Amino acid sequence: MKRVITYGTFDLLHYGHINLLKRAKYLGDYLVVVLSTDEFNWIEKRKKCYFTYEERKSLLEAIRYVDLVIPEKNWEQKNTDILEYHIDTFVMGNDWEGEFDFLKNLCEVIYLPRTEEISTTKIKSDLNKEIIY
Ligand code: C2G
């Protein structure tokens, strides 16, 4: 069984996230998603999520490509996650290209093309625009 891992916030879940999760799953047989906690998002990424960690977790667990969701509490846990969950492949969108190459001594590292036209930030800004009927 080939085990894949990926990390993220996945707020306001959209088809760009789904495209990533789908391709990540198809790289193996079992996909672990390490989901940023509300504290980690705010302290380390200055991201204030619309959905809480538990809400984002339940959304991810409903996706057919996702086998397990665990919390991302800090930047440093990747090494131990990979060892603890016997991961073969680490996957991230290519906005992170090169950032996690240090993991190559533990597992395969793959960066996949992002779905360019969509993002949580774009959704928020589009919704904030004055809608004139
Ligand atoms: N993604 C994508 N296409 C988009 C938006 C996101 O492929 N249009 C991918 C990102 O590249 C990432 C994953 O979906 O691999 C999750 O995106 P975010 O929730 O924005 O994750 P991020 O805040 O970058 O957190 O330790 C790593 C961090 O937790 C990554």
Mutate which of 56, 92, 120 for ligand 1? The one with the most ligand atoms within 8 Å of its CB, which is: 92
Q: Whose CA is nearest to atom 11 of ligand 1?
A: 93
Percentages helix, strand, coil for the chain (3-state, rounded to 5) are 40, 20, 40
pLDDT recorded at residue 98: 98
Closest among 7, 92, 97 to 56, alpha carbons compared: 7
Spacing, Cα 129 to ligand 1 middle (Å): 24
Mean pLDDT of the chain: 96
Kindly state the average pLDDT of the residues 67-94. Answer: 98
* Token couple for 13: 């879940």
Q: What is the pLDDT of residue 131?
A: 64
**Parallel, antiparallel or unpaired: strands 89-93 and 30-36:** unpaired
Average pLDDT, integer, range 5-30: 98
pLDDT of 60 reads: 98
17 alpha-carbon distance from chain centroid: 7
Residue 133 confidence (pLDDT): 60
- pTM reported for the whole predicted model: 0.96
Model confidence at 132, pLDDT cuts 50, 70, 90, reads low
Percent of the chain predicted with pLDDT > 90: 95
Which residues contact ligand 1 via a Cβ below 6 A?
7-10, 16-17, 20, 36, 45, 72, 92-93, 95, 114-115, 118-119
Query: Helical H runs in the chain?
Result: 15-25, 38-45, 53-61, 78-84, 120-128
